[in-house]
Structure 1
Amino acid sequence: MRTYLLLGAASTALTLAPAHAQDNAPTDAPQTSVQREEVVAENTIIVSGRAQKLYRAEETSSGKLETPPLESSLVITTITEQLIEDQGARDAQDLYRNISGVSFFSYAGVTARGFRQEEIFYDGLRGDPYAGFSVPQLFNVQRVEFLKGPNGMLYGPGAPGGLFNYITKKAQSDEFEGTVKAIAGTEDRFGGSAEVNLPLGKGFAARGGLFYEDRGTFRFNAASRTMIADAGLSFDPGPIRVDIQATRYNQELDANRLRGVPVDDDGEFLTDRRWNHNEPTDYLNLESDVFQMRLEAEPFDSLKLDATARYNNATEVQNYHEPRGLFDSDGDGTIDASIREFRDQIRTQETWSFGANAVWTTDLSSSVRNRVLFGFDHFLSDSFFQGRSLRGTTVDTPGLPNPLSLFDPQYGLSDPATYNQGPFTTTLSESEQTGFYLLDELTIGRLILTGGIRRDDSEAGGLVEGETTYRGGAVYRITDAISAFGQYATSFEPQAASSQNPLAGGPFAPTKGDIIEGGIKAALMNGRIQSSLSAYQIRRTNILQSDPRGDEGNDGVDDLVPVGQITSKGIEFDLAADITPDWVLTLAYGYNDTRITEDNGGGGFPFNVGDRFPNAPEHQLGFWTRYQFPELGLAAALGGDYVSERVSMSGQTVKPYMVFDASLIYETGPLRALVRVDNLFDKTYAASGFLDRTGHFPGAPRSAFLEIGYAF
Structure 2
Amino acid sequence: MTSKLRLLPRISLLAFAAAFAAPAAAQSGQSAGQAASVDQEITVTGWRLRQLDTVTPTGSRLDLSIRDTPATLDRITADEMLTRGFRTVEEATDSLPGIISGGSPGNPTLFSMRGFTGEQITILHNGLYLGPANMINRPGNTFNLASIDVLKGPASVLYGQGAVGGAVNIVSKHPDFKGNSGQALASYGEFDTVSLGAGGNRVLSDTLAGRVDVSYHRSNGYVDDTGPHSFNATGALLYRPSSDLSVELSVDYLRDRLPTYYGTPLLPAAAATDPIPGILTSANGAVVDRRTRFVNYNVGDSRANSWQVWPRLAVTWSPSDAVTLSNTAYYFHADRAWINAESYAYNAATGRVDRDRFFVFHNQDLVGDQGSATFRHSLAGMANQLVIGFDYNHLDFVRSRGFPDGDSVDLLRPARGSFGALDRRVSPTRWDQIALFAEDALDLTAKLKLVTGLRAERLYLTRENYNLDGSFNAGSSFRRVYKPFNWRAGLVYDVTPAITTYASFSTGQDPVGSNIFLVNAGQNFALSNSRQVEAGVKAALLNGRASLTAAVYDIERRNILTQVAIDTVSNIGSQRSRGIELSGEARLTPHWAVTASGTYVDAAYGSFTDPNYGVAASGNRPPNVPDWTANVWTSVQQIAGLPLEAGGGVKYVGQRYGNTANTLVLRPYATGIVYATWAVNPRLSLTGRVNNVWNKTFVQWADIYYPAQVMLGEPRRAEVSLLARF
| TM-score interval, normalised by the smaller of the two chains | 0.7 to 0.9
Q: CA deviation at 1:603?
A: 12
Question: Would the alpha carbon gap of residues 296 and 678 (structure 1) be closer, same or farther in structure 2, given more than 3 Å must change?
Answer: same
- CA distance 1:527–1:294, change in 2 (3 Å): farther
CA 1:56/1:70 → structure 2, altered by over 3 Å: closer, same or farther? Answer: closer
Distance in structure 2 (CA, Å) of the matches to 1:371 and 1:678: 46
Match of 2:467 in 1: none
Aligned counterparts, 1:352-363, within 5 A: 352-363=367-378
- Matching residue of 1:184: 188
Q: Is the 8 A contact 1:288 1:312 kept in 2?
A: yes
Change (3 A) 1:547 1:130: closer
Amino acid at match of 2:110: G
Inter-partner Cα distance in structure 2 for 1:273 and 1:374: 54
Q: Is the 8 A contact 2:609 2:617 kept in 1?
A: no
Counterpart in the other structure of 1:102: 99
Give the Å deviation of 1:570. Answer: 0.2
| Higher mean displacement: 369-378 or 684-693 | 684-693
Q: State the SS of the aligned residue for 1:297.
A: strand
Q: Is 1:647 equivalent to 2:657 in the alignment? A: yes
Q: Give the conservation status (yes or no) of the 8 Å contact 1:73–1:487.
A: yes
Tell me how far apart the structure 1 counterparts of residues 295 and 568 of structure 2 sit (CA, whole Å). Answer: 39
**Which residue of the partner structure matches residue 635 of structure 1?**
645
Whether the 8 Å contact between 2:390 and 2:434 is mirrored in structure 1 is: yes
User: Which stretch of structure 1 is more off in the superposition, 260-269 or 318-327?
Assistant: 260-269
Is 1:459 aligned to 2:472, yes or no?
A: no
> Structure 1-normalised TM-score?
0.86
Go from structure 1 to structure 2 and tell me whether the alpha carbon gap of 1:38 and 1:311 turns closer, same or farther (over 3 Å shift). closer
Q: Partner residue of 2:205?
A: 201
- Identical-pair percentage: 23
Asked whether 1:698 is paired with 2:712, we answer: yes
Q: Residue 261 of structure 1 contacts residue 276 of structure 1 at CA under 8 Å; is this kept in 2?
A: no
Query: Which residue of 115, 121, 125 corresponds with 1:122?
Result: 125
- Give the conservation status (yes or no) of the 8 Å contact 1:236–1:242: yes
State how 1:605-620 maps to structure 2 within 5 Å.
Answer: 606-620=615-629
Instruction: Tell me the distance in 1 between the aligned counterparts of 2:302 and 2:461.
Output: 33
- Counterpart in the other structure of 2:465: none
Correspondence 1:273-284 to 2 at 5 A: 273-284=293-304
The correspondence for 1:270, drawn from 259, 281, 289, is: 289
Which position in structure 1 is the counterpart of 2:670? 658
Distance 1:673 1:328, change over 3 A: same
Question: Displaced runs of 4+ in structure 1, greater than 3 A?
Answer: 18-22, 25-39, 52-57, 128-134, 363-366, 495-502, 599-605, 691-694
Are the equivalent residues in 2 in contact too, given 1:628–1:635 (CA < 8 A)?
Answer: yes
Aligned match of 1:10 in 2, 17, 20? 17
> 2:425 and 2:719 mapped to 1: Cα distance?
43
How far apart in 2 are the matches of 1:259 and 1:659?
20
Deviation by residue 1:210-246 (Cα, 9 ceiling, x = unmatched):
2112212111221222111222111123211111111
After superposing the two structures, state which structure 1 stretch, 561-570 or 301-310, moved more: 301-310
Cross-structure match for 1:382? 396
Paired with 1:590 and 1:11, the residues of 2 have a C-alpha distance of 29
**1: CA distance, partners of 2:612 / 2:335:** 39
SS in 1 for 2:177: coil
Of 321, 334, 337 in structure 2, the residue corresponding to residue 317 of structure 1 is: 337
Q: After TM superposition, give the deviation of residue 697 of structure 1 in Å.
A: 1.1
How far did 1:153 drift? 1.1
1:396 equivalent in structure 2 = none
Q: 1:121 to 1:57 in 2, by over 3 A?
A: farther
Aligned-residue offset at 1:565: 1.1
Cα 1:248/1:638, change in 2 over 3 Å: same
Does the 8 Å CA contact 2:15/2:185 hold for their aligned counterparts? no
Give 1:222's aligned residue.
226
Give a deviation string over 1:41-100, Cα, whole Å, max 9, x none: xxxxxxxx9724777662211122221222221211111122112212111222234322
CA contact (8 A) 1:98 1:588 kept: no
Structure 1 residues 422 and 72, CA gap change in structure 2 (3 angstroms): closer
How many Å separate the matches in 2 of 1:55 and 1:33?
20
Is 1:74 matched up with 2:71? yes
Distance verdict in 2 for CA 1:117–1:33, change over 3 Å: farther
Q: Distance in 2 between matches of 1:57 and 1:247?
A: 29
- Are 1:447 and 2:466 matched, yes or no? no
Q: Name the CA shift for 1:697/1:602 in 2 (closer, same or farther; >3 Å).
A: closer
Q: Does residue 674 in structure 1 map to residue 684 in structure 2?
A: no
What corresponds to 1:245 in structure 2?
250
Instruction: Give the length in aligned residue pairs.
Output: 660
Q: CA deviation at 1:353?
A: 3.0
Structure 1 residues 155 and 576: alpha-carbon distance in aligned structure 2, compared to 1, 3 A threshold: same
Q: Tell me, what secondary structure is at the counterpart of 1:560?
A: strand
Per mean C-alpha deviation after superposition, the further-off stretch among 264-273 and 355-364 is 264-273
| C-alpha separation in 1, matches of 2:197 and 2:146 | 15
Q: For residues 633-680 of structure 1, give each alpha carbon's deviation from its aligned partner in whole angstroms, at most 9, with x where no partner exists.
A: 111111111111111125311111000011111222111112221100
Letter in 2 for 1:634: L
Give 1:133 deviation, angstroms. 6.5
CA–CA distance in structure 1, aligned partners of residues 86 and 342 of structure 2: 30
From the superposition, tell whether residues 153 and 184 of structure 1 become closer, same or farther in structure 2 (CA, over 3 Å).
same
TM-score, structure 2 length as denominator?
0.85
Partner residue of 1:515? 532
Change (3 A) 1:94 1:56: farther
Contact 1:56 1:79 (8 Å CA) reproduced: no
**Contact 2:429–2:517 (Cα < 8 Å) also in 1:** no
2:81 partner SS: helix
For 1:526 and 1:354, how far apart are their aligned partners in 2? 45
Contact 2:61 2:439 in 1 (8 A): no
Q: Secondary structure at the match of 1:172?
A: coil
The answer on whether the counterparts of 2:308 and 2:332 sit within 8 Å (CA) in structure 1 is: yes
In structure 1, give the amino acid aligned to 2:684.
L
Deviation of residue 501 (structure 1)? Answer: 5.5
* Counterpart Cα distance in 1 of 2:602 and 2:81: 30
Hey, what's the Cα distance between the residues in 2 that align with 1:415 and 1:50?
47
Q: CA deviation at 1:32?
A: 13
Q: 1:135 to 1:500 in 2, by over 3 A?
A: closer
Aligned residue for 1:70, secondary structure, equals coil
Cα distance, 1:260–1:316 mapped onto 2, change above 3 Å? farther
2:511 corresponds, among 494, 517, 520, to 494
SS in 1 for 2:67: helix
Amino acid in structure 1 at the alignment position of 2:294: R
Residue ranges of structure 2 left out of the alignment (5+ in a row) = 1-13, 269-279, 463-478
Q: Is the 8 A contact 2:77 2:148 kept in 1?
A: yes
- C-alpha distance in 2 between matches for 1:303 and 1:69: 22
Deviation at 1:507, TM superposition (A): 2.8
Change in CA separation of 1:220 and 1:32 when aligned onto 2, cut-off 3 Å: farther
- In 2, the alpha carbon distance for the partners of 1:127 and 1:422 equals 28
Give the equivalent residue in structure 2 for 1:302. Answer: 322
| Cα-to-partner distance string for 1:526-547 (whole Å, 9 max, x where unaligned) | 4321111111000011011122
How far apart, CA to CA, are the structure 2 residues paired with 1:539 and 1:225?
39
> What SS class does the counterpart of residue 71 from structure 1 fall into?
coil
1:433 is aligned to 2:433? yes
Contact kept, 8 Å, 2:264 with 2:288, in 1: the verdict is no
Match of 2:82 among 70, 81, 85: 85
* Aligned-pair CA distance for 1:388: 2.1
- Post-superposition CA distance 1:319-350 (Å, at most 9, x none): 211215331144xxxxx432112223321111
Paired residue for 2:273?
Answer: none
Cα distance in 2 for partners of 1:603, 1:97 equals 28
Aligned letter for 2:715? Answer: P
Q: 1:607 to 1:571 in 2, by over 3 A?
A: farther
Give the structure 2 partner of residue 234 of structure 1.
238
- The one-letter code matched in structure 1 to 2:673 is D
Q: Alpha carbon RMSD of aligned pairs, Å? A: 3.0
Please tell me the residue identity of whatever aligns with 2:256: Q
- In the aligned structure 2, how far is the partner of 1:140 from the partner of 1:403? 42
Matched ranges for 1:90-169 at <5 A: 90-105=87-102, 106=104, 107-118=108-119, 119-127=122-130, 132=136, 134-169=138-173
The structure-2 alpha-carbon separation of the partners of 1:108 and 1:568, relative to structure 1 and needing over 3 Å to count, comes to same
